[in-house]
Amino acid sequence: MARPLSGARLRAAALTLPLLAFVAVTFMAPLGSMLVRSFYEPHVADALPQTLESLRAWDGSSVPDENTFRILATELRLLDQQRKLGGVATRINRLEGGMRSAIMDTARALRDAEPDSWREAMTAADPAWGTEEAWRAVRRAGERYTMRHYLNALDLDRDPSGNIVAQSPERRIYLPLLLRTLGVSLAITVICLILGYPVAYLIANASPGRSNLLLLLVLVPFWTSLLVRTTSWIVLLQNQGVVNDLLVAVGVIGDDGRLALVYNMVGTLVAMTQVLLPFMILPLYAVMRSISPTYLRAASSLGATFPQGFVRVYWPQSLPGVAAGSLLVFILSIGYYITPALVGGRTGQLISNMIAYHMQESLNWGLAAALGVILLVTVMSLYLVYNRLVGIERMRLS
């Protein structure tokens, strides 16, 4: 009896293997490579091996010796010749402002120089070399395995003695952004629940024909391209858009008092709520459909008013749907990128947009990866909760 069973187990498992392998290669491995980038940064370590070796013995309390200056000068010159200096300088500059120009100017000044004192020549090219901060930046940028992207992503930094301290106030942007993202997601979840609950109730308690028709109305936006829906919101909400035109025509606002409804947080909130609303309505509906209306009727026949009956009898039974819908909407909204990017303007951006910025514009891939890992861990923990609570198998698409 044991063998055929294990055969069946094997057969079942074998059927899932191709997809598991496919997901592993095309999806998990990419996530893995991003994880690696968040703490592994070999660029500077590979470019300045001897300098870093020489700095290993340095105590960090005073400027290093002449020999270290000479080694760094030699390596900088070599990188300059190979036209690889810019990338190294940029990375060191991320740890200490001003280092990029210090390094580039120094390399230029030293191109054909054979000075007696490298220390003097380098500090003449840029006085930064006379400070410990510059050298500490070089040493830290040379760490092959580093936690600094995570520190950076949490608005933390290391002070000269290596203690973890808060980032200077004007550079503190990631934690507030993360909190803003969570706040916005929560707000959207609550709004979706408030808007979605009555609709789900209506659909669940309508006659079959009507309920099908209403469901279709909910599903149409679900199937429509996200870009189309976002475009629609721009058309509706922009300064000269339909909503403002309507308000002006009705006389609610004057022509010069048009409301800023898009390219800000309002735009992000409105568009994301509309986009995510079906994800709230559908799970709510699925649960409500199984709640028998006789409970409410029983409550009313016992003299309870509708609100009383609702709060005591119906709401508790619909809680599984509330939890499923809310978690789903919350999970989806913290990772949202497209809608805030298109309608969020400056103030309506979320953490994903910052990741995209570091991926595509600042090219601080290590930081983008660290922010990505933090976001991913948040989403995955919520996903596990969802899985426990709702069961992913019961996720329905229509």
Partner 1 sequence: MMGNRGDWRVLARNQERVLFAVFVTALAVGTSGCGSEGITVVSWGGSYEAAARKALFEPFTAETGIAVHVESYNGGLAQIRAQVETGNVHWDVVDLEFADAVKGCDEGLLELIDIDELPPAPDGTPARDDYFEGTYSECGGGMVYYSTAYAYNRESFPGERPSTIEDFFDLAKFPGRRGMRRVPLVNLEMALMADGVPTEEVYAVLSTSEGVDRAFRKLDTIKAEVVWWEAGAQPPQMLADQEVVMSTAYNGRIFNAQVLEGQPFTIVWDGQLLDYGQAAIVAGTPRLEAAKQFLMFASRVESIAEIGRYIAYSPTRRSGMSLISTHAETGVEMRPHMPSAPENLTRALRNDAVWWTNHAEELTERFSAWLAR
Partner 2 sequence: MRHAAASFEFSERVGRAVHLAVCGAVLVFLVAPMLVVIPLSFNAEPYFTFTEGMLRLDSDAYSLRWYRGVIEDAEWRLALVNSIVIGIAATAIATTLGVLAALGLANPAMPGRGFVTSLLISPMVTPIIISAAGMFFFYSKLGIAQTHLGVILAHAVFGTPFVVISVTATLVGFDHNLVKAGASLGGGPFLVFRRIQLPLIAPGVISGALFAFAASFDEVVAVLFLGGLQQRTVPRQMWTGIREEISPEILAVATFLVMLALILLGTVEWLRGRASTRPGNAD
Interaction partner, residue 87 (partner 2, partner 1, none; CB < 5-8 Å by kind): partner 1
Q: Cβ-count burial of 74 within 10 angstroms (0-12 exposed, 13-18 middle, 19+ buried)?
A: middle
Which two three-digit tokens encode residue 261?
A: 């409804």
DSSP string, 257-326: G----SSSHHHHHHHHHHHHHHHHHHHHHHHHTTS-THHHHHHHHTT--HHHHIIIIIHHHHHHHHHHHH
| Position 292 contacts partner 1 (CB under 8 A) | no
Residues 158-217 that bind partner 1 (CB under 8 A): 170-171, 173, 176-177
Work out which of 201, 263, 285, 336 binds partner 1, going by CB under 8 A.
263
Choose, by CB under 8 A, the member of 37, 100, 136, 139 that binds partner 1: 100
- Whats the size of the chain, residue-wise? 398
Q: Hey, which residues between 49 and 88 contact partner 1 (CB under 8 A)? A: 82-87
Q: Which of residues 356-395 bind partner 1 (CB under 8 A)?
A: 357, 360-363
Residue 201 exposure: Cα atoms within 13 Å on the Cβ side: 15
Apex CA 374: angle with CA 369 and CA 379, to 5°? 120
Q: Where are the beta strands (DSSP E) in 49-204?
A: 156-158, 164-166
Residue 98 CB, shortest distance to partner 1, in Å, is 7
The reply to whether 8 sits near partner 2 by the rule CB under 8 A is: yes
Site for partner 2 in 158-217 (CB under 8 A): 195-196, 198-199, 201-202, 214, 216-217
Question: How many other C-beta atoms can be found within 10 angstroms of the C-beta atom of residue 14?
Answer: 9
CB of 61 to partner 2, least distance (A): 39
Q: Which is nearer to partner 1, 67 or 81 (CB)?
A: 81
Cβ distance 231 to 318 under 8 Å?
no
Shortest reach from residue 89's CB to partner 1, in Å: 8
| Nearest CB to partner 2, comparing residues 144 and 297 | 297
| First-last CA distance in the chain | 40
Q: According to CB under 8 A, which one of 11, 56, 111, 346 is a site residue for partner 1? A: 346
C-beta of 48: minimal distance to partner 2 in Å? 24
Is 118 in contact with 69 (CB distance < 8 Å)?
yes
In the bound complex, what is the minimum distance in angstroms from residue 56's beta carbon to partner 2?
30
Q: Which is nearer to partner 2, 19 or 57 (CB)?
A: 19
Q: How far apart are CA 174 and CA 47, in angstroms?
A: 30
Q: Which does 195 bind (CB under 5 to 8 A by kind): partner 2, partner 1, none?
A: partner 2
CA atoms of 98 and 111, how far apart (whole Å): 20
Q: Is 250 in the site for partner 2 (CB under 8 A)?
A: no
Total of chain residues touching partner 2, rule CB under 8 A: 93
Q: Among 67-75, 168-176, 252-260, 300-308, which window interacts with partner 2 (CB under 8 A)?
A: 300-308
Quick one: which of 149, 174, 48 has its CA closest to 94? 149
List the single partner that 306 binds among partner 2, partner 1, none, CB under 5 to 8 Å by kind. Answer: partner 2
User: Is 331 near partner 2 (CB under 8 A)?
Assistant: yes
Angstrom CA distances, 124 to 44, 117, 155, 247, 319, stand at 24, 11, 34, 65, 71
Binding status of residue 3 toward partner 2 by CB under 8 A: no
Q: Which residues bind partner 1 (CB under 8 A)?
A: 82-87, 90, 93-94, 97-98, 100-101, 104-105, 170-171, 173, 176-177, 238-240, 260, 263, 345-346, 349, 354, 357, 360-363
